[in-house]
Amino acid sequence: MQTLTLQTPDDWHLHLRDGDMLQETVPATARCFRRAIAMPNLAPPVRNAEEALAYRDRILAARPEGSYFEPLLTLYLTDHTTPEDIAAASAAGIPAVKLYPAGATTNSAFGVTDLRGRYPVLEALQKHDMLLLIHGEVTDAHIDIFDREKVFIDEKLKPVTEQFPDLKVVFEHITTREAVEFVESTTARVAATITPQHLMLNRNDMLVGGIRPHNYCLPVLKRNIHQQALRQVVASGSPKFFLGTDSAPHVKAMKETACGCAGCYSAWAAIELYAQVFDELEALDKLEGFASHYGPDFYGLPRNTGTITLARQEWTVPESITLADGQPIVPFIAGQPVQWKLVEPL
């Protein structure tokens, strides 16, 4: 197969950031994704419908001329979120709320400290048929960072899905075999997104031969057995797993520092990298479902019309990208070859 045409895909987990950064991130995403779930962990975060709609306007203002890219907004769940906030968000057409355990990742200081205390809000989500998107890690200091996802499943996620059986839950950017097994074993109301970095890399790629800060993300890369579990499940074509890049830009100076930021900026090559992975797995026939069908189906949205086309053509990801203010960003797998190229974008 030398070309691959897909029904227009979406990105169900994306960090666009804010301000001048939008001039880079929005066009990079809009070249191949019609819709994207925009994460709310700004500074300050997106906490209510009014803030979400204002953020949407800023994203739309950064769209390339002629683009039909549509951001789908989310609220940031805090200890102060109320059922009334959820009702207002539902009325405004906001499809989801994002749960960050406090301290789990970038800009998560406003996150939830007591999940059981948020159960009235989860009940409101269930009532209004809104989705709960979860960064699934505990943050207890005594829990090894490589075990935080597994412990979250056992201590937090299972009780939530049992207490709220009609709540739609997306377990985002899963990284472990245990997460795969949990999602496969539970109800049709639970699904998961998987990133390109967690399909392509394991913790050796971050640590062997010296620390590689541009491969550092949260949840952190895990050992090979977990990477293989993710690869196997996407190759199976299960509709419970779909595309969410978790593309998360940081300027180079914030990554290459003594306390570097977590995140891989994959938007420049996202759909191409997924194609490369599915090609390696001899599962290119499963990519369209993963990229274009299962996400909108789970969200209860129509599938996109139109197509994009990729060709089996090697190209090299740039070593860096310069923002309007002159600061560089190092994209994911900078300077490395990619075997598929988008030749007919949106």
Instruction: Extract the annotated binding site for Zn(2+).
Output: 13, 15, 98, 135, 173, 246
Helix (H, G, I), strand (E, B) or coil at 50: helix
Helix (H, G, I), strand (E, B) or coil at 153: helix
Listed residue (20, 21, 54, 52) closest to 37, CA to CA? 52
Tell me, yes or no, if 129 is annotated catalytic. no
Q: What is the distance between the alpha carbons of residues 305 and 307, in angstroms, rounded to a whole number? A: 7
Name the H helices within the chain.
22-30, 49-61, 83-91, 119-127, 148-152, 158-163, 177-185, 196-200, 204-207, 224-236, 252-255, 270-280, 287-288, 294-299
**Binding-site entries for substrate:** 15-17, 41, 135, 218, 250, 262
Residue pair 110/102 in contact (Cβ under 8 Å)? The answer is yes
Q: What is the distance between the alpha carbons of residues 264 and 197, in angstroms, rounded to a whole number? A: 8
DSSP bridge pairs for 254: none
Listed residue (127, 176, 130, 132) closest to 153, CA to CA? 176
Tokens of residue 298, six digits: 């789970």
Q: Which of 246, 279, 285, 325 is catalytic?
A: 246
**Residue showing tokens 């994207």:** 36
**Binding-site entries:** 13, 15-17, 41, 98, 135, 173, 218, 246, 250, 262
Catalytic residue positions?
A: 246
